[in-house]
Structure 1
Amino acid sequence: MPLHLTEIERVKTISKEDFYTNYVKKQKPLVIERLTEDWPAYEKWRLNYIKDIAGEKTVPLYDDRPVNHEDGFNEAHAKMKMADYIDLLQSKPTNYRIFLYNLMKEVPSLKSDFKWPDIGLKLVKQLPMLFFGGENSKVFIHYDIDYSNILHFHFHGKKQCILFAPDQTPYLYKVPHALISREDIDFDNPDLEKWPALKKAKGLICNLEHGEMLYMPEGYWHYMKYMTPGFSMSLRAFPRKITNLGKAAYNIFIMRNFDNLMRKWKGQAWIDYKNEQAIVRTHKNLKISS
């Protein structure tokens, strides 16, 4: 039995008033299909272009191994020249992804390829981060530490995105003191006998094509799967809700430091405890016997 998923609404274009009133204020996801058509990136941003201008840069790579107490926060699993990585992406499926990489700092010419969209969100004008992935590579379901409103643009190929609103958290087996769900849940094809709370979860889904943008509201869970090799860019705006600003501050200044301290003190036992508690707490809240 699959997850309960509804297609995310789509528009070709939208006014900033309409977008702000009907999506940002209502915290409702949306795909805008043609927002990037007047960007140089729309024509240029393909994998071979990135290889040509950034091929000599050494980039951090991440795979889909479970969290380990010996790994630092967002610590890379491997490194490779960008040219070699893109050759790998285009030759065969790989789990290696580039995650939250500031390529524009390394290759400033990329900054002239995109435009800050005038869409009713006050975007943080820091250099955008880029994300790369190979065919069938997946990004663990998570929500962002800073509760930003996110504009997520995809280039070169197709990417599938599954979202859950924050009010669906009780059904998602959230790991305590973390921003993720249980990493052994396959959100493509979950075992609903093993993870019965997921039967109650109501999510959203879309398939992004080249140049399309997905708006993800504050605190939304997202699970990403690259259907083909490709890459994405995210622009961010601070949370509008005061409560979410408070949650973001807690995550950054307290939760993350507490979790790092416990990893150093307890080691793998802390990771195992959190994973166990994800089940215990979810089933207790829903009165499901484990």
Structure 2
Amino acid sequence: MTAVPLSEVLAPAAREGYALAGFVVLGWEDAVAFVEAAEETGRPVILQAGPGCRAHTPVPVLGRMFRHLADQASVPVVCHIDHGYTIDDCRAGIDHGFTSVMFDGSRLPISENIELTARLAGEAHAAGVSVEGEVGFVGYAQGETSAFTDPDEVARFDRESGADAIAVSVGNVHLQTEATGGIDFDALRAIEAVTTRPLVLHGGSGIPSETRRRLARESRVCKFNIGTELRQVFARSLRGFLNENPEKFDRIEMLKQTIPPMRAQAVEILNGLS
């Protein structure tokens, strides 16, 4: 299978009432676990390189790594730049094999957000790459607070930006270590009433699995970004191995132990989105 743009996998999800997982990748072990989980479930997967990942590993390396896994996979794999804060962040992804980019203009005035997203969409679509945008601001647990998506602003963004998917803020929060019941369904319905494009919820780790399933089936949300939940699995499995094997020192042996539990959790997440 080859890498595919985000729009190719979101269209059937929106039409048939299920959702996809955008898994946040921090290293090789994560990416392998997530692709193996996708193959086990027969579902497409979105491998996401966020700002932290890109600061640690150069984008050209990540692009080749993601594309290598996509080429070996039996299911569609989207290679996605998450939270590109500048057009150049996203262009770097396009230049190095990513099939989808997210321009995060959520901190900008809506007119500037639309203008920059539309400019990027023109370049990206010409290269066969999808674009995700964001309206409203998704905050952080123990950090910046959220600003809910304004229906008037998102309606304009939907019409004018050219984005293939729109991330919205309706009570979802980044870096949430425990699932909460914070989704405002009335706010989401107001957004759905004035938009046509697939919707994305960042901070998926904080959304209970039963709520994710309901949203997948009953709303136009068809992509959940999930990172913290899986990083916790990575940490627990690595600590457990080190505590039980204090004499071990081989990096590869240690890190390989994290793949099976991350794969198992990713399988559970993917199966819960239909």
User: Shorter-chain TM-score category?
Assistant: under 0.3
Give the alignment's TM-score, normalised by structure 2: 0.24
Give the alignment's TM-score, normalised by structure 1: 0.23
RCO comparison, higher one (Cα < 8 Å, 6+): 1
Q: Between Structure 1 and Structure 2, whose CA radius of gyration is higher?
A: 1
Structure holding more helix per residue: 2
Structure holding more strand per residue: 1
